Structure 1
Amino acid sequence: MNATIHTIALHGAHDDHRAVVKLTRELVRIPSRGGVDSYDPVLDYTAAWLAEHNLHPRRLTESGATVALICEVAGAHPGPRYVLDACLDTAPYGDEAAWSYPPASGEITGGWLHGRGSADSKAGAAIFAHVLARLQQARHDLHGSVVLLLDVDEHTGRFGGAKTYFEGPAAPDRVDGVMIGYPGIDHLVIGGRGVLRARVHVHGVASHSGGSRTTPSAIAKAAELVSALGQVHLPAGDGEGFPPAAKLTVTAIRGGEGYSVTPDLCTLSVDIRLTPSLDDSAAEDLLRGCVTRVDAGWSGTQPSHVEITTRWPPYRLNDASRLKAAMLEAASAAGLATEAKVAGPSNIGNYLAGLGIEATAGFGVDYIGLHGTDERVRLDSIPPVQAAYHHALLTLLRPA
């Protein structure tokens, strides 16, 4: 059975190669920078492609704005539901003059396709669209269903498409696993450090900077807090199963204006990467404890206020995960030496873990320049990636 599945997936991927490259190229040529460009052109083009392939896309909206495009292939038999998730919005271009080819050119040279979003993650979207079209042709044999979720609110950091699909008014009654099409052919990301993010509002006392009266500066107080946070003790990694260690970073400082006022407010952005040894509660206690100790040395000022903005738990798929096993087996069958990995950065898999949904993230095409100048993908890495996803889904959607 596995040999048959492998043959079907591999032949389909090679037959689709030119079409996947064409779709990726067309998507790259449609600017869709998060929070910058209108998403309607890329959504309209993708929806038309899906409709032409006997799929039935629809738009998900949140507060009147489109946040995702979705469609579902339902098998003829009951079974699990899996989601293929990729984003159609992209990072900004940066310095366009530094690019070898324009960011929306879709230029192909030396076996590479260039352009913003080629890696993250329009190639993934094109591959997933072709996998879904293949599954549509075989739906009478499928036990379960597959959803294609194309988010256009990912690079804003809001993940509006995913949140609307998984938690919105029309959320599905079950999701058994999610495959996220981030790039990277060497690793299947099966986990990631979580994240606790906070804004710390540090208070001082305003006065004229040139006056005879000296008052506590919120910036000076905040600087002391930054120094204290840089010296906190964090637990080391959790061993082979979860090697990345916890990490704390002050990522932004905002305070003061002009020259003549001693500032009475300075706000720090604090990013704490979580592991099983440092969960969100422990990280929050650590942060608040450090803030309290610094406040104690600044009499005459209001206590600092800690505003928690994000809580995503760390996660790692366990060894019994069918999703993990199916993906690794399929990648191997496609001739790839792909290894399971727990990633240092957080990803949408952390959000899904908080909902109790298994997710893989970061298996996709080979790439260079993610979010950077001259982002590009290696074209001959497309067929084995498509074959692996197709193979894995055929395995997961067969009778138990």
Structure 2
Amino acid sequence: FDRKNYFYPDIPKGYQISQYKYPIVSGGLLKGVKITRVHLEEDTATSIHEKDSTLIDFNRAGLPLMELVTEPVIKSAEEASSFAKELQLLLRYLGVSEANMEKGQMRVEANISISEDPNKFGTKVEVKNLNSFKAAEKAIKYELKRMEELMEEGRGDEIVQETRGWDDDKQATFSQRKKETSEDYRYFPEPDLPKLFLQEIFNIEKLKKGLPELPAAKRARYLAFGIKNEDAEIYVDNKMLAEYFEKATTPFHSDLEKIKLASNYITSDLLGHLKNKVDYTLPQAGDFSLLIEMTSKGEVSSRGAKNILEVMHGNSDSPRKIAEENGWLQESGVDAVKKIVAEVISQNQKVVEDYKAGKEAGLQFLVGQVMKLSKGSANPQVTSKLLKEALN
């Protein structure tokens, strides 16, 4: 460990215990972004800047923290935010921390520079202690715009190496202090702490074998099912919903169509109920699987499946029983549907003539009429096929 020496109200003793020469981790890659190092250090106090004064909160001062530093390869505010979200996921999967930004368990500090020379970095400005992904994006965008405007006005020399804060009310950054260089910190070995030697238990290959499935691997596995990118992200972010998805789709093995159908209902209907109803509990995975089977076979329509999911909340009846009791089972029998098709054709001769004259919309109207007469029990695919046969 080393002492990082500087004078600022957030550390009244005048130095911070950190790792400078020998970080605990060197190198790495996360979501395509190169990692320079990961080091341990003590946290400092929180500076709360008021209009005419600054308050200092020492509650977290002295607590150990882990800082990850990336290479200067991130090109946009969105990419920075995406990287930070992926890091948060990784920390949660590994059980390192809940990494809740609103609780101060994770913070983002952005180093920003622009340059007209692609081979040379401009003057670096650091925006510290951003406590949300949205704040990080806004602060980076604001600072880039501020720098670009200064450069365009020929005032590039006003961009100085400094630490800036983010004012969420004003949606603007503000100067806090002139930024020191590494030489200014006068690093030297921490005399009160012995050297840290990592034992055999920290063997990287052994640690890899004990890792859980990480976000990137889980995301790739879900996408291999053919589900939508946004659905895969929901499961990667939501452990409870991911476990439910896996349990409910286990009976489908490699039937990708049923897996995709199940995913659509989970991420739209079930997730919607969970968000909008405080007391909503997910149906038993086995019952949900049965409902997907029924929907896939055309025994219930999409609308019927949604209705059944509504009723299944707090109801121990099977989806088939619920469908039967409410008349939501579709009639796929050709003879039964044929009778209704004949009746609809005889009652809508004008529409029939229009369809035969080339107006395709007429067919959809007739399908709707069959569904209406059958009270939604007729299978739309069977109905459409029988109508075409009768009209052609």
TM, length-normalised to structure 2: 0.20
TM, length-normalised to structure 1: 0.19
Structure possessing the higher radius of gyration over alpha carbons: 2
Q: Which has the higher strand share?
A: 1
Q: Which has the higher helix share?
A: 2
Structure possessing the higher relative contact order (Cα contacts under 8 Å, 6 or more residues apart): 1
